[in-house]
Structures are given as structure tokens and as C-alpha cells.
Structure 1
Amino acid sequence: ASRIVEWQDRSYTLGVFVQANFGKRRNFTIRGRHVGPELAEPAIREGTPRAEKGSIIAAVATDAPFLPHQMKRLARRVPLGIALTGGYGYHSSGDIFLAFSTANPEAALAASGRVARAEFIPDVDIDPFFDAVVQGVEEAILNALVANEDMTGRDGNFVPALPKAWLKDNFG
């Protein structure tokens, strides 16, 4: 999922990619509506007990110029988007979030013996990018769920896909 963020008459793209294998169905939320209890059937079947229950990996990419501490701040907004979908970060969840910028490529190639320069957006102007991260994470997770199909795994473990007809009826 991606967002365009306007700043100082320039447009920047912020994209989010997620590997979403996390959460409990009972907590699932779509656009602020707690829908998990409505999705009880078909039931998830777990034939193999597992110590770990899931994980999420998210990568945030942008062409906006930010400094390393600002990129960390963007990555720290990922859990807010996860929470919007009902992910609470339970004990056994393995979560990895990273953020990077493609801006300022010449800074890494600066000649020896010279001061290198890099542009960056001031900290006081970062809020619209925080919004883009949170919204992008939520959308990326929902996109992954919509694209999924029923899955049967080892020992008869079964996870049903998000029902497309139910989604259309409830969210158009």
C-alpha cells in the first residue's frame, strides 16, 4: 500500500509492504468495526499446537529525505497501523519493522576530504508521514487478507480466507 504526501510543493511517495501472519481472529477490525466475532465460521482448525502464534514484518519505503533517527520514528508508527486491524502484539509474536529512504543517494558517494551534504525534512513537519505509515500499514494488511485463499497445512491445520462475499456485503 502507498500514500502520496505533499510537502513544500513536492510530492513524496511512502510505501508499506507487510508479511502478515499475526493476530487472533476474534480481535480482527476493519475500518474501525470489530468484525472478528462475525467471522467465526468457517472455523480455524489447529491440529498441531505451536509455541509461537504468528509474526509480522513490515518495510516502510519512501523517497522523502529523512535522517536515520527520523526513519526510526517512521518505523515506530507501524504498530499503530497493526492495532487498527486488531493486532495487539501478543507475547509470542515476532515483529520486525524497518524503514528506509531512497533520497540523498549522493551523500554516500561523497568524495574523501569533503563535507557531504544531505537534505532532510525537519522533524516538526514529519506528522503527515506518520499518518501515511499508519494508514499504509492498515491498508497493506487488509490487502494481504483480501488476496488470501483458504489454506490447509501440516497435520490438518486450516485457516479460511476472508470471505469475499461477506466483505462486499459489509464494506462495498
Structure 2
Amino acid sequence: MPDPVPDPSPPPPAPRRARELGLVIGDLPTGAHNALTDVPGIRVGHTTLTRPPRVHSGVTAIVPDGVGPAAPLPAGVFAGNGYGKLIGTTQIAELGVLETPVLLTSTLSAFRAADALVGWMLERPEGADARSLNPVVGECNDGLLSDIRSRPVREEHVRAALDTASGGPVAEGCVGAGTGTAALGFKSGIGTSSRRLRLAGRDVTLGVLVQANFGGTLRLLGRTLTPADVGLPASEPGPRTVPEPTPDNGSCMIVAATDAPLDARQLTRLARRAVYALGRVGAAYGHGSGDYALAFGTRPPGAPAAVPDHELDPLFIAVLDAVEEAVLNSLLTATTTTGPYGDTRHPLPAAPLLALLR
């Protein structure tokens, strides 16, 4: 059986995002692309691996310009429920710094991805003198819609995502690490959003990117919505060779970045609010869920004029709104996917959704 390869064709035109459908979360304006890349110096890249119905997986790279062991960035991490394999967590919690790009991928591919990231960093000027390196790799279990045991993500796929990372619009839905994920009963994937705001007299930007793969029931504008509510068929699993995941299994990886001058402690507070935001969209935070947020700043540690804690509230509001919108984007921009065991998940359909909300 041939190995899955990156899809060389451009993705089809994505369905409209939440904001384009008139679903506006909060009062703050977005950045130019309503994406993590609106934060200056942040690039995003994807490698998407498909061989239907067996493999729907991939890797997503978040690359801050110039980051390395000699030029780390302040960072904080928070686990809402720690059933996960977020590689590099303890050093971030201990030292409060990020010294590599951040990768997102499938659970059983996380360890290969970490090794590939180390190799990539050691070859770059930023890692030329490194004797220690803390790769950061987050993951979600895409085993419902992909053959997770095959561990399809290899070194060349990781390097491709890192090398092709760019600014500007970010592909969402069934791309990269979101190719095989599902959330809230729907097909999900990668979602992103941003906010611009004034913080302690400065104009700053906050951006988030989510890899959504968690259980619960979707909540939107005060309504609770199941797939049946928007006309989707009930999910009927096909013949299985592995147990079907329970409804509360899954995870969500959230990566937040900002050019606000925050220290690691403040970024940890920001990460905590990012996980809280999942409750807005109906996350179950189940026993088998790994709900993590990593927040980092683009200003180096020790930069002057940190924002006083009592002035952080606008940024907390921004991350709550941006995460909620990013999750909605991940549901709206995904495509129907059938996995190796006959399970099918459909994206959140825009037209029935708007009709129901009206």
C-alpha cells in the first residue's frame, strides 16, 4: 500500500468563514486577514496528507521570525485537561520561554515531528551553537477519521510545513494538522482569528490558531446546535477494528500570539483564558480530552514597559472572542470526510445554520 503524499493540488475554494456569514463575535476589529499571521513576524505552513479513506492527517507549523535557543520568546502554557502529549511543556512552564517554532500534528506522529523539528533547527543559523533544544509539538487524536497507527507524518512533511510557512491568509478546515479532526459532532480542522485593540496606550494585535478535535454540543449565539438541527444525517459508524471513541474524547490545541509587551506569567494568564473560551462553544472538557493553550509574545524576554496586570482585561476579552471565532471557522471551512472505519463527519453547513438562527 503506497504511503500518503502531500496533496499537490490547491485546495478548493473554502466555504465562507463565520464573519463573512455575519456571525460576528465581540466588538473588537480583526486584523487584515483575521488570522494568527496578523501578528507581525508570525508565519504558518501546512503539509496535508491524504489517501482516502485510510489517511487524513498532516502537520501545521507556526513559525515566529528568528526564534531560537539564543533568541527565545516569552511564553506561557495552560492545560485545561491534560490528557495529551504536548511536547516541551515543562520547560515552557519552568523558564517561560519558547525557543523553536510550534508544530501541531496527529498524536502518534508527534514524536517523529519533534525529532524532525530538532534536526531542522540545528541546521539553521538560529540553532548553530545549540547544545540543548526544547522542541514544542502539540497534537490531537485523529484516529476516528485516519489510520493513526500508520504514523504517516514523516520528517520531509515536517520540513515542508516549516519551509513553506508564510504570512498572509491562513488555510483553514481540512488542512495540515486539522485534516482528520472532528469537534462537537461536526467535521472540524484548523481555524484562526485575530483582534486589534488598544492596550495600555499601545496599538497591539492578538492572533490565535486552533486545532479543534473535542467533544460537547455546539453553542452559538445562545443556541445549542446538534448536527440534526442543521439537517445533517446521524453519524453511523461502519465496521470497526478498533473501539469507537466516546463522545467526550478528543482534544483542542490553541496557539495564541501577540505583539503586546507581556512577560511569561502574563502570557500564562492569557493561555488560561484561551482554554476557557472553549466553554463558550460547548466544549465538554471530558476525561479523554487534552485541552491546551500555548501563548507567546513576539517581543523578547525583558523588553521594557510590560503592561500592568490591571490593564490586561481588553486582551483577555480579545482572546476569548478570537478563540470562539476560530473554532467556528474550523467547523465552517472543513469538508465532509469519511475515515477508514466508515465514520463520516460533515462540516457545519452555512445555509441551514443561518436559516435556523434567523
- Maintained 8 Å contact 2:256/2:295: yes
> Comparing both chains, which one has the higher relative contact order based on Cα–Cα distances under 8 Å and sequence gaps of 6 or more?
1
- Maintained 8 Å contact 1:31/1:84: no
C-alpha change, 1:92 and 1:75, in structure 2 (3 Å) is: same
Deviation at residue 40 of structure 1 after TM alignment:
6.6
The residue number in structure 2 matching 1:112 is none
The residue number in structure 2 matching 1:110 is none
The residue number in structure 2 matching 1:111 is none
Residues 77-103 of structure 1 deviation map (CA, whole Å, 9 limit, x = unaligned): 012211111112111012221000002
RMSD of aligned Cα (Å): 1.9
C-alpha separation in 2, matches of 1:46 and 1:79: 30
The residue number in structure 2 matching 1:67 is 263
The residue number in structure 2 matching 1:28 is 218
The residue number in structure 2 matching 1:139 is 325
Are residue 15 (structure 1) and residue 201 (structure 2) matched? no
Which one-letter code corresponds to 2:215 in the other structure? Answer: G
Are residue 2 (structure 1) and residue 198 (structure 2) matched? no
Deviation at residue 163 of structure 1 after TM alignment:
1.6
The residue number in structure 2 matching 1:91 is 287
- Maintained 8 Å contact 1:151/1:159: yes
Which one-letter code corresponds to 1:44 in the other structure? Answer: S
C-alpha separation in 1, matches of 2:318 and 2:288: 28
C-alpha separation in 2, matches of 1:80 and 1:74: 10
SS for the counterpart of 1:60 is strand
Are residue 170 (structure 1) and residue 320 (structure 2) matched? no
Choose between structure 1 and 2: higher helix proportion: 1
SS for the counterpart of 1:13 is strand
C-alpha separation in 2, matches of 1:4 and 1:168: 27
Of 56, 80, 91, the match for 2:276: 80
Which one-letter code corresponds to 1:57 in the other structure? Answer: M
C-alpha separation in 1, matches of 2:340 and 2:331: 21
C-alpha separation in 2, matches of 1:75 and 1:142: 19
The residue number in structure 1 matching 2:252 is 56
SS for the counterpart of 1:77 is helix
Which one-letter code corresponds to 2:314 in the other structure? Answer: P
SS for the counterpart of 1:34 is strand
Which one-letter code corresponds to 2:291 in the other structure? Answer: D
C-alpha separation in 2, matches of 1:79 and 1:44: 27
- Maintained 8 Å contact 2:254/2:275: no
Are residue 161 (structure 1) and residue 347 (structure 2) matched? yes
C-alpha change, 1:62 and 1:120, in structure 2 (3 Å) is: same
Deviation at residue 162 of structure 1 after TM alignment:
1.1
Could you tell me which runs of 5 or more consecutive residues in structure 1 were left unpaired when the two chains were aligned. Answer: 108-115
C-alpha separation in 2, matches of 1:74 and 1:162: 28
Q: Give the count of matched residue pairs.
A: 160
C-alpha separation in 1, matches of 2:232 and 2:200: 49
C-alpha change, 1:91 and 1:154, in structure 2 (3 Å) is: same
The percentage of counterpart residues that share the same residue type is 39
Q: TM-score, normalised by structure 2?
A: 0.42
- Maintained 8 Å contact 1:44/1:160: no
C-alpha change, 1:117 and 1:16, in structure 2 (3 Å) is: closer
C-alpha separation in 1, matches of 2:233 and 2:347: 9
Are residue 44 (structure 1) and residue 235 (structure 2) matched? yes
Could you tell me which runs of 5 or more consecutive residues in structure 2 were left unpaired when the two chains were aligned. Answer: 1-192
- Maintained 8 Å contact 1:45/1:159: no
- Maintained 8 Å contact 2:194/2:322: yes
